[in-house]
Chains A and B, each alone.
Chain A
Amino acid sequence: MSNSTRTQVREPFMHITKRTDVKLWQSWGARIIAIILALVVNGFFIDSVTGLNPVDVYKIMWTGTFESTYNFMTTLRDVAMLLCISLALAPAFKMRFWNIGAEGQVLMGALLSAVVMIYLGGKIPSSSLFIIMFIVSCAAGALWAAIPAYFRAKWKTNETLFTLMMNYVAIDIVDVCTNTWRGSKSSMGQINAHTKAGWFPKVLGYRFTISILIVLALAIIIELYLNHSKHGYELSVLGESEDTARYAGINVQKVIVRTMLMSGAICGIAGFITVAGTDMTVSSATARGFGFTAIIVTWLAGLKTPYMFGMSFLLIFLEKGASQISSAYSSLNDYSTQVITGIILFFILGSEFFVKYKLVRRKKETAKKGGDSK
């Protein structure tokens, strides 16, 4: 038993250690190299599959966002929407509460905005109309988030399943409402198309400028809330350990429900700005799956607000670019554009590994210096 066979093992080529004090130019250098590598690899892919000139394809991709002011502004509009939902998720995730229900919370906010537009539009001054729309959509999103939060706080139900299922309830409610409202028409069309009541006024030529400004303000508020407020401190402690939270005298149930009310309310705002600034109507597709995409954004950004903006921008840029190239080239269908954006994402996220870790070889001969037992 004692003399088991000993295999002489070869030296591993390299091993992984964590980096410390990474300089700014190093981390950005790694990211830029990653993007260049991604473009090169994609070049081979594009050339071998379609025979197109990769540089032309990249140019078209770039125009998705940067061809015109309009393209750029609509990109920003979508970034704002995605960022808004990501901001909503950040406090919940920091509390380790897996809110997968943003999609439904956004839809409920959007639906209630539409309800106010339909029933109060033109009957009250537009400033009070906006205030009511805002409050009501916050309340709707908050309620949609608070139900699973209350169950979790009170009876420790699984919030992941609960919030996920609430999405489908919300989708069906929106479908029921829109089907009723459209009557025999094929679609609802824009609400208040003639009076434009409940539509954001145009600023700098676009209605959604106001949406972007609202999200910008929210980003600052959330950044302060998470890092500098007492509430933010409480939910970070709770996220780390419930025992520690109780030890610190934090009311666990209260913090869970309070944080989720806020998370849901911000999702409601995302619904509100989409209805009033972009769509002027509501449907079960209003949230565009951003409720799920935002989960990725928030998590990859490590719950940090500036990174959430960066991630949102990257994802929307790729989406816009992909739709641009698939409409420009018949040989590049949706599937190949997905491969292209996938490769770019892979390299950019992969570069984060090299920002955090390094590969080193073991030094063998460094004799002289003491340490020998004799």
Chain B
Amino acid sequence: MESQNEKRVPAVSMRNITKTFGSVVANDHVGLDIYRGEILALLGENGSGKTTLMNMLSGLYYPDEGQIFIDGSEVSIPNPRVALGMGIGMVHQHFKLVDVLTATENIVLGLKDKGRLDLDAAAVKIRKICTDYGFDIDPHRKIYDMSVSEKQTVEIIKVLYRGADILILDEPTAVLTPQETTRLFDIIRNMKSDGKAIIIITHKLQEVMHVSDRVAVLRKGAYIGDLVTKNTSIQEMTDMMVGHKVNLNIDRPDPVSPSPRIVVKDLTVTDKDGLVKLDHVSFTANSGEILGIAGISGSGQKELLEAIAGLQTVDSGSIEYIEDNGSHDQLIGKDPLAISNLGVSLSFVPEDRLGMGLVGNMDITDNMMLRSFRNGKTVFTDRKAPRKLAGHVVKKLGVVTPDLSTPVRKLSGGNVQKILVGREIASTPTVLLSAYAVRGLDINSAYLIYDLMNQQKEAGVSIVYVGEDLDVLLALCDRIVVLCGGSCNGILDARTTTKEEVGLRMTTKKEPASVGGSDE
């Protein structure tokens, strides 16, 4: 620990904090100090208690035991309003904004100022915050017109507007492009030099190295220790988080005799409002190969995967599945049941895990039978096989759960994803579609997923991997399709291309024939 910190009074000091949920100890006598003018990265695997700890600081949960000191004096934080009164503001992973209101209206919403509501004065104050810290936002824009990063900006301004000087950011970069992330970090550094204390929860260790001053590590609810960022390495942080040595290299076996499995030609999709989501996209996914899909979020990745899975109505184009014996099946116009009745074993790990891939209120066993409950001739469901599969997945992938009858929504994000991926792989697919398979996962779980993908690849499965971390896409995939505004902007060899090339193609259309100057 730096010597200068010893003399200063921490902005926040948490002592012996314990929180249990039933029999699960989420935080076990955790102590944590945060100083002003410091960026602290809070690290830990999924379910290690980071968010629980921060929720207690921001007043969402109340600790069972322990004390919290703000600037040296003990406080009690029964609810978020009190937390804000003490200058503690948390920006959550999931935004809490009213779509039809403007940025200003959202920011002042819930404030109890005396007198008439003066939106113009509020807008002036917001503009001042923007220039102070380097935000770029129009206070009068409606939320539904905003991109994800702009919405996040509104959330951050919301807590700054309320006078927060202790900021907690829960996975702020999970939904941002690399460029947006850089901009966010500039702003965070500005806030730091303004004397604010900043805690950032993240799984992206490169970013931790980039932006933080100090790193605090939690493991299984217990405080492990802290490191000064400039004296540590990604390897050291990982080992501390996981508790043992971890190999950080992603394997990439060479494809063995790849042959076309899914042929997509001129696929065009428009949504309900008539917006073009996919514009004449063509590519081929081969067996025994991982095909990466890169693109800024919302560039048509969701529509592309759902079209292949039979969940998206398609305007024109063709998606053909080529069997091992060479016969072709058209997948367009078929729903998931019809596709599986064709004998196509297509697995799909959708982006929305609890809203599409799993049923949050059902237990692990019942979720295992989501795609196979029709098995068996009687009108009754057979839960024996799913229960066996559930036990197998839990054991093989190391799912942390009290038992098989726990509703999956009660599990942490990483464990939820393991259950989903485990089920989809268990059906011995020939095609595996995955959307943001490692989003929100800790490093250990993420590497487990990469390993599973590689095992499937070596078994001859054709894998389509939609990803957001370019480093991972370049290290894991064989070829990368870059989507830009719904059209295919090049198919690159992942072994030879560069991060810059992919990043450029994500934002700038290459074809000279397309509308000139659509750069951003």
Contacts and interface: CB of A to CB of B under 8 A. Distances in A.
A241 B63 CA distance: 33
B29 A369 contact: yes
Interface stretch (B73-81, B442-450, B460-468, B478-486): B73-81
B356 interface: yes
B222 A249 contact: no
Interface stretch (B144-152, B170-178, B374-382, B505-513): B374-382
B359 A244 contact: yes
Contact of B357 (A236, A244, A371, A374): A244
Given A9-B77, A230-B380, A373-B226, A249 B335 contact: yes
Given A244-B357, A249-B337, A367-B16, A373 B32 contact: yes
Interface string A220-251: 00001000111111101100110110111111
Contacts of B85: 4-7
B350 interface: yes
A19 B163 CA distance: 37
B191 to A, nearest CB: 11
Contacts of A5: 85
B350 A9 contact: no
B86 A6 contact: yes
B29 A370 contact: yes
Nearest to A238: B359
Contacts of A10: 76
B287 to A, nearest CB: 24
A229 B379 contact: yes
A203 interface: no
A12 interface: yes
A241 B358 CA distance: 9
A12 B350 contact: no
Contacts of B29: 366, 369-371
Contact of B369 (A17, A21, A228, A233): A233
A247 to B, nearest CB: 5
A374 to B, nearest CB: 7
Given A7-B85, A18-B21, A21-B22, A247 B369 contact: no
Contact of B163 (A1, A11, A12, A373): A1
Contacts of B225: 373
B362 A236 contact: yes
Contact of B75 (A9, A17, A249): A9
A20 interface: yes
A156 interface: no
A240 B361 contact: yes
A15 interface: yes
B251 interface: no
A185 interface: no
B65 A12 contact: no
Nearest to A363: B65
A237 B16 contact: no
B76 to A, nearest CB: 5
A247 B379 contact: no
B260 interface: no
Contacts, number: 148
A194 interface: no
B371 A249 contact: yes
A244 B358 contact: yes
A232 B21 CA distance: 31
B370 interface: yes
A230 B62 contact: no
Given A240-B359, A248-B370, A12 B78 contact: yes
Given A4-B85, A240-B361, A15 B78 contact: yes
A297 B371 CA distance: 33
Interface string B62-74: 1111110011010
A9 B76 contact: yes
A230 to B, nearest CB: 5
B8 to A, nearest CB: 14
A233 B383 CA distance: 11
A241 B163 CA distance: 39
A246 B335 contact: yes
A363 B64 contact: yes
A3 B340 CA distance: 62
Interface in B171-212: 194-196
B30 interface: yes
A362 B64 contact: yes
A2 B195 contact: yes
A296 B75 CA distance: 43
A8 B75 contact: yes
Given A229-B380, A231-B379, A373-B223, A247 B21 contact: no
A95 to B, nearest CB: 13
B222 A371 contact: yes
A164 B366 CA distance: 34
Interface in B356-409: 356-362, 366, 369-371, 373-374, 379-381
Contacts of B32: 373
B90 to A, nearest CB: 16
A231 B373 CA distance: 10
Contacts of A363: 64-65
Interface in A354-370: 360, 362-364, 366-367, 369-370
9 contacts: A1-B165, A2-B195, A15-B78, A19-B22, A20-B23, A21-B22, A237-B362, A243-B356, A248-B373
Interface of B: 1, 15-18, 21-23, 28-33, 62-67, 70-71, 73, 75-78, 82, 85-87, 163, 165, 194-196, 216, 222-223, 225-226, 309, 311, 335-337, 340, 348, 350, 352, 355-362, 366, 369-371, 373-374, 379-381
Given A11-B76, A230-B373, 11 more contacts: A9-B76, A15-B62, A224-B380, A229-B381, A230-B379, A244-B359, A247-B336, A249-B371, A362-B64, A373-B216, A373-B223
